[in-house]
Amino acid sequence: MKKLFGVIPVVILVTIISIGCKKDKPVEKPEVEEPKPTAAFTAARTDSVAFLSYKFVSTSTNYKELLWQFGDDSTSVEKSPLHKYAFDGIYHVVLTTRNSQGYSASKEIILNVVDPNFDPTKVGESYFATIGGTLTVSRDNGGGPNAGEGSLKVVDGNKDTKFFQSGFSGDLIMKYELKTAAVAGAYTLISANDSPDRDPKTWTLQGSEDGIRWINLHTRTGELFASRSLRKLYHFNNNVAYKFYRISIKANNGSRDFQLAEWTVNKKQP
């Protein structure tokens, strides 16, 4: 019995010591809020010749990271990047900044990238005439390609002849294989001599390197030719040398027949 009572004070002492040594819970310091970020920048063409190249300079403040979106699926995280566009056109440029606490800011501008030497009224050489090649169509004139109104008349360089197809149903494809690949940036169509309801109205121009995989280059919907033997010029953006070009005529102006005097695929500028 003496040994039992001799242990009890020790247990009590240990308990007292444990309670007395309990660590105080630290006081949490409130997080200091950082200054909010701002987003601002300038954009300038590098020189008059290299009109596709722009220098972007961020003048933003209070940020930890930033992201540029140039409007052509390209991005950058540099403070002041140099960016070169592939083509002229309208681009939405966005700069987004963010601080370490997750606050963000953004600025957007609409950038009009213009070639100062581009003349929309002019077009370069017709590759059908200067390079040459082979025309095929999905369905020809009843008399064949060499007939008086056969398909070859649409690429003979003479606006007074025409390709005529009866029974048009919106599925005409005219394909031209060049002897050597070339970078085209324009094409022309010339309306034929009569019956405006036979004129092409809706179509898509495509290019291909191998004749298998086709890339859309230009589309027109609801186009009208106001007069006969009228030449219309269309420009499009492209930097690939295609060996094959084709135009798919989806609709005309209501006739069961189709006609076209001339079709060319061209260099963009002289």
| Over residues 148-157, mean pLDDT | 98
CB 127 within 8 A of CB 243: no
| pLDDT per residue as tens digits for the range 34-62 | 999 999 999 999 987 889 999 999 999 99
Beta pairing, strands 133-137 & 82-84: unpaired
**Residue-range domain boundaries for the chain:** 41-113, 127-266
pLDDT band of residue 25 (cuts 50, 70, 90) is low
Whether 270 shows a pLDDT value over 50: the answer reads: yes
Identify the pLDDT of residue 30.
75
Fold of 127-266: Jelly Rolls (2.60.120)
| Over residues 82-99, mean pLDDT | 96
CB 37 within 8 A of CB 61: yes
Backbone angles phi, psi at 3, to 5 degrees: -70, -35
- Where does residue 262 rank: exposed (0-12), middle (13-18), buried (19+ CB within 10 A)? buried
Identify the pLDDT of residue 8.
44
Longest dimension (CA), the chain: 133
CATH code for the domain defined by 41-113: 2.60.40.10
